[in-house]
Amino acid sequence: MPKRRSTSFDVARLAGVSRTTVSFVLNNVPGVNISEATRQRVLEAARQLNYHPNAMGRKLVSGRSNTLGLVLRQSPEQVFADAALLRVMLGIEHAVAQQGFHVLLKPVPPDDNSGYLRLIEENHVDGIILSGPRQDDYEIVTLHRQGVPIMLMGQLPDSEIPFVDIDTIASSAMAVRHLIEQGYRQIAMITNASLTYTSAQQRYAGFRKALEEAGIEFQETWLREGSYTPASGFEAMADLLRQPQRPRAVFVASDVVALGALQALKQAGLRIPEDIAVVGFDDIPFAEYCDPPLTTVHLPAYGLGWAAGERLVRLVLNEGLRETGLLLDAKLVVRKSSICQ
């Protein structure tokens, strides 16, 4: 039971060569000549000592930590409610693990704008994936200017920072178009979050776009703001039902919020979709098991994470990107909540 971890020096001594040779052999350095005999001797010695190069020493000299920071700017409540986040994380991890990178988790509450600076100041991470970027986040712009590799999940208007996102406007327009094709024309909307968030704005824009294309005029009184939680959806929907004129369909720009909205509808004694149709957004795992199953826009969460990770690694390795932004396609998943038989 060897207490001390064995170093490259130990391997060198056992193999009867220099430490340099060990490094050459184990890293397969190209353009260096090592005889097959010594190569085998080194490999055998390394195996025998169960040698694994210490990451620290390696990092120190290479200047790279082979670690990426995943920074979550959402508040704890939002994080809890974000069912897609886990899939995003797995996507990131699988993508970067292939290149030998690791993922460091760093939640930073919205009111703390410098909490993640240390990660790169102290060289803890080589780059940052920022989930839920906020418009007033100047630090991230500064960081990007200084050349720190950054990948946004979601977009930040008027910035040159690379990002990965879905084509939100097109996707939400697709969802609303689906309702229109089903014959609905009196359509309300509940947003996923306050309209100060980029993503909320875009989902709203798609809604407006689809209405416009169909020549349907928008009812200002049929817009409500959700805020990530089922509770907010419940409130918004209850408030909507108090309006003199009741919409025939609702586009709720978040499945989580839609869960609350569904409950409000049931409490009001309304049938779905007979009395009022509902379409959500995100396709959380439970959307399929709602009552009724929820028609929604499938967010390719795993793919988003994968793309973000893969692209950030390219940035760190200085391989460059073809285009700054990448927009993935979302698909509409039609279930019972919007199909009036």
107 contact, one of a second copy, DNA, none, CB 5-8 Å limit per kind:
a second copy
Are 31 and 54 within 8 A, CB to CB?
A: no
- Does 27 sit near DNA (CB under 7 A)? yes
Task: Candidates 53-61, 77-85, 143-151, 204-212: pick the segment binding DNA (CB under 7 A).
Answer: 53-61
Which of 202, 209, 196, 192 is closest to 84 using CA atoms?
A: 192
Pairing of strands 331-333, 296-298: antiparallel
DSSP annotation string for 272-303: TTTT-EEE-SB--GGGGGSSSPPBEEE--HHH
- Does 118 sit near DNA (CB under 7 A)? no
Are 248 and 184 within 8 A, CB to CB?
A: yes
Q: Exposure of 232 by Cβ count < 10 A (0-12 exposed, 13-18 middle, 19+ buried)?
A: buried
Neighbours of 280 (CB within 10 A): 32
- Does 4 sit near a second copy (CB under 8 A)? no
35 contact, one of a second copy, DNA, none, CB 5-8 Å limit per kind:
DNA
CB of 68 to a second copy, least distance (A): 10
User: Pick from 47, 48, 58, 160: which binds DNA (CB under 7 A)?
Assistant: 58
Pairing of strands 163-166, 150-153: parallel
Contacts with DNA, residue ranges (CB under 7 A): 5, 7-9, 16-21, 23-24, 26-27, 29, 32-35, 37-38, 51, 53-54, 56-58, 60-63
Contacts with a second copy, residue ranges (CB under 8 A): 1, 3, 5, 50, 52-57, 59-60, 65, 67, 70, 76, 79-83, 85-87, 89-90, 93-94, 102-107, 118, 121-124, 146-147, 230, 234, 256, 259-260, 262-263, 266, 285-286, 288-291
